[in-house]
Amino acid sequence: MRCKQCKEKAVLFMPAHRLALCKGHYPSWFRKQVQRAIDRFRMIRPGERVLVAVSGGKDSGALWHALHHLGYETEGLYMHLGIRIEGYSDQSYEAVCRLAEKLGRPLHVVDFQEELGMGIDEVRGATNRPPCSACGLSKRYHMNQAARRLGFSVIATGHNLDDEAVTLLNNVLAWNTEFMVRQAPVLPEDEGFVRKVKPLIFLEEKQTTVYALVEGVPFERDECPFSVGSTNLHLKDVMYRLEAHSPGTKRRFVEGFFQWRAQWLDKALKTKPDLRACAVCGYPTTAEVCAYCRLKAQIQRHLTIVS
Amino acid sequence: MRCKQCKEKAVLFMPAHRLALCKGHYPSWFRKQVQRAIDRFRMIRPGERVLVAVSGGKDSGALWHALHHLGYETEGLYMHLGIRIEGYSDQSYEAVCRLAEKLGRPLHVVDFQEELGMGIDEVRGATNRPPCSACGLSKRYHMNQAARRLGFSVIATGHNLDDEAVTLLNNVLAWNTEFMVRQAPVLPEDEGFVRKVKPLIFLEEKQTTVYALVEGVPFERDECPFSVGSTNLHLKDVMYRLEAHSPGTKRRFVEGFFQWRAQWLDKALKTKPDLRACAVCGYPTTAEVCAYCRLKAQIQRHLTIVS
C-alpha cells in the first residue's frame, strides 16, 4: 500500500477513510483530525490553557503530543494509581515523565497512595469494591479537583473512538440512559465541574497507536492488569468484528448517537439532579457526602482496624 | 441436566431463566410465556380472531401451534414467495399445509408469482432491487391487505427475541431512529392498517425450535437462500457472543429498549407522516402511489420489454 500524497510506503491504511498515508504525511493528518474535532465541538476556547490527563498509555500520550504540536499551551496530569502488579503504575509514570521532558512541559502528579491511603490494587481487600469502579470514581474526582486547584478551565482526556463505541454499546445493551446522557465529546463546565473534552473522539485506537509510534511518543505497552477478562475487552472484540464486517460502523454508531443525543437531551436533562457541596470536601454531589469521600472513609476505617 | 418440575431428563436448559425442563413440561411453559406476552402488551382482544402469518419456518409454526392450543381462533396466511432455489418456497408451503391439516384450521395463500408477475428470486433481474427489500415490502403489503380482505383485525407474526435483538442492534448501530420508532411488540391499528403483534417477542430462537420439535410442528429446516452471508446473520453471530458472555443480554437489550421507546414515543411520533390512499390500490402511503404498486409497475415494465 502506498501513501496517497507522495507514493512512499504507507504506514497505515484506513478502510473507513479509504486512505493510506506514509510516516511523513500521517502525523499532520492525525493532528488535523484532532483540530477538526476541537473546532467542531468547540472544545477549547482561544488562548485557553489545557490540562491533559495522561495515563502513560498511547492514547493520552498521542493526545498530549498532538495538542502541544498544534500550538496549545498544555500541562500534564498523571494519576499514580499505585498498581504494583507487574510494576504497572511505576512503568506508566516513567513513560509520562519521559513524554513531559520530551515536550518540555510541566507534569502534575496525584498520588493515590497518599490521597487514599492505599493503591488501587488494595482497594478490593479493604472495601470489597471492584477496583475499576473505585479507580474510575477516584480518577474523575482528582482530575476535576486538580484542574480547579491548578486554575485550568478545561481537561482533555485520551478517549478514542474505540473507547466511545464500546462504552456506548455497553450502555445501549442495557439502555442505561442516565449514563448515555453523560456520554459526549464535551461535558460542559457546571457548578464545581471543569469542562471535560475528548479531542480523539473520532480517532481509532490503531490510529493513535501509529501516531505515538511514528512520533516517538514514549508509552507503556502493557494494559492495566485489571482490564484482563473484563466486559470491556469482550465488547471491544465484538466491535472489532462489526467494524471488520462493515468499515465505518464504529464512527456511524458514535456519530449517530451524538446527533440523536442532541435532539433528545433537552428532554432528558429535565431530570438533572440537584447538586450540593459535599459536607467533607465541597465537591458537587447529590448526597450529603460525595462518593469519593465515602470511599476514602471506608478505606480509613479498614486501615484503623488493621493497624 | 434434570427437569426442575419432575427430575426427568431435561430437553432444554435456559441459562437466562436458570431453568431446565423435560419434554413433558416444556411446551406448557412455552405457551405460558406466549400468553404472558399477549396479556402484558394487550396483543389480542377477547374473542378476537387471529390471522397468523406463517412462513413454513419453526418460529411462525410454533406460534400458530401455541396460539391454537391456548384456545385462540386462528387461521393461517402463507405467502408463496416463488423462490425456486433449492425448492425453498415449495418445501415451505408443504410444511405449512401439513401444519394447517394437523391443527385442522384454514390456510390462506397469497401467490407472489400471480400477484407480482414473478417470484422474489427474479425481482433483482427485473428491478435491480435487492431481493430482501422487495420481499419485505411485498410481504408487509399483502399481509395487511389479506387481513383486511378476510376480515381480521389482528395479524400475529413469528418474530422471536433473536430477531428483535438483531434488528434493534442493526438500527442502533446506525441510529435509524425512524425504524426504531416502528419496532415494538404491538403496532396498533391505524387508518388502513391492521394491528400487528409479536407474541414470541421474548422467546429465543432455540426455545421456539425446541417447542416445534417437541410438539411435532412440521417445519422447513433450510433458511431462505437469500439470507446466506447477510448482515443479519453476521449480527446474529455477534448477538450470540454477547449472550454467551452474559446470559440475558438479548432480553435486557430488547426489554430496555421498549421501556425507553415508550417514554420517547410521544416526542418521536410528533413527526408522524401524513398518510393518504395510494392512487392505484388505496393502501395508506406518504406518496401518490404506494411503494408496492411502484415495485409492481417496475416489474410490469420489465415484463413488457422482455416479451
**Mean pLDDT, chain B cut into blocks of 10 residues (307 residues total):** 94 92 97 98 97 97 98 97 89 97 98 89 84 89 96 98 96 91 91 95 96 97 81 90 93 94 68 84 92 92 85
Please spell the DSSP secondary structure of A9-30, one letter per residue. Answer: BPSEEETTTTEEE-TTTHHHHH
Say if residue B240 is exposed, middle or buried (CB neighbours under 10 Å; 0-12, 13-18, 19+): middle
Q: Cβ atoms within 10 A of the Cβ of B201, count?
A: 26
Set of chain A residues whose Cβ sits within 8 Å of the Cβ of B256? 173-175
What pLDDT is attached to residue B122? 87
pLDDT band for position A128 (50/70/90)? Answer: confident
Tens digit of pLDDT for each residue in A81-104?
Answer: 988 888 889 999 999 999 999 999
pLDDT at A240 over 70: yes
What pLDDT is attached to residue A270? 59
pLDDT band for position A265 (50/70/90)? Answer: low
Q: For residues B159-184, b (16+ Cβ closer than 10 Å) or e, as one string?
A: bbbbbbbbbbbebbbebbbeebbebb
What pLDDT is attached to residue B305? 85
Set of chain A residues whose Cβ sits within 8 Å of the Cβ of B231? 245-246
Q: Does domain B26-272 have CATH number 1.10.3720.10?
A: no
Range among A19-28, A219-228, A259-268, A293-302 rated most confident: A19-28
What pLDDT is attached to residue A116? 87
Superfamily (CATH) of domain A32-272: HUPs (3.40.50.620)
pLDDT at A224 over 80: yes
Say if residue A292 is exposed, middle or buried (CB neighbours under 10 Å; 0-12, 13-18, 19+): buried
Copy the grid coordinates of residue B259: 421501556
Copy the grid coordinates of residue A80: 499514580
Copy the grid coordinates of residue B264: 420517547
Query: CB-based contact (8 Å) between B29 and chain A?
Result: no
Query: CB-based contact (8 Å) between A270 and chain B?
Result: no
Site of grid cell 479507580: A135
CA distances from A207 to A132, A219, A245 (A): 26, 15, 19
What pLDDT is attached to residue A229? 67
CA atoms within 13 A on the CB side of B289: 8
User: d(Cα B161, Cα A15) in Å, to the nearest integer?
Assistant: 33
- CATH 3.40.50.620 maps onto chain B at 26-272
Q: Which residue of A has its CA nearest to B235?
A: A242
For residue B282, the cross-strand partners are: none
User: d(Cα B105, Cα B103) in Å, to the nearest integer?
Assistant: 5
Tens digit of pLDDT for each residue in A193-204?
Answer: 999 999 999 999
Residues 6 or more apart whose CB falls under 8 angstroms from that of B168 comprise B180, B183, B253, B254, B257
How far from the centroid of its chain's Cα atoms is residue B94's Cα? 19
Cross-chain Cβ contact B175/A267 below 8 Å: no
Set of chain B residues whose Cβ sits within 8 Å of the Cβ of A252? 173-175
Range among A36-50, A113-127, B271-285 rated most confident: A36-50
- CATH 3.40.50.620 maps onto chain A at 32-272
User: d(Cα B275, Cα B283) in Å, to the nearest integer?
Assistant: 9
pLDDT band for position A167 (50/70/90)? Answer: very high
E strand or H helix at B107, and its extent? strand B107-111
* Contact (CB, 8 A) for B245 and B54: no
Instruction: For residue A284, give the 3-state DSSP assignment.
Output: strand
CA B128, B131, B132, B138 dihedral sign is positive
Alpha helices in chain A (DSSP H): 26-40, 58-69, 88-103, 112-116, 120-127, 131-150, 161-173, 177-182, 205-214, 231-245, 249-268, 291-306
Cross-chain Cβ contact B175/A260 below 8 Å: yes
What pLDDT is attached to residue B130? 84
Q: Which residue of A has its CA nearest to B176?
A: A256
Cross-chain Cβ contact B253/A177 below 8 Å: no
Alpha helices in A194-248 (DSSP H): 205-214, 231-245
Looking at A21-25, A177-181, B277-281, B297-301, which range is the least confident one? A177-181
pLDDT at A269 over 60: no
Complex ipTM over 0.85: no
Instruction: For residue A218, give the 3-state DSSP assignment.
Output: coil
What letter would DSSP give residue B9?
A: B
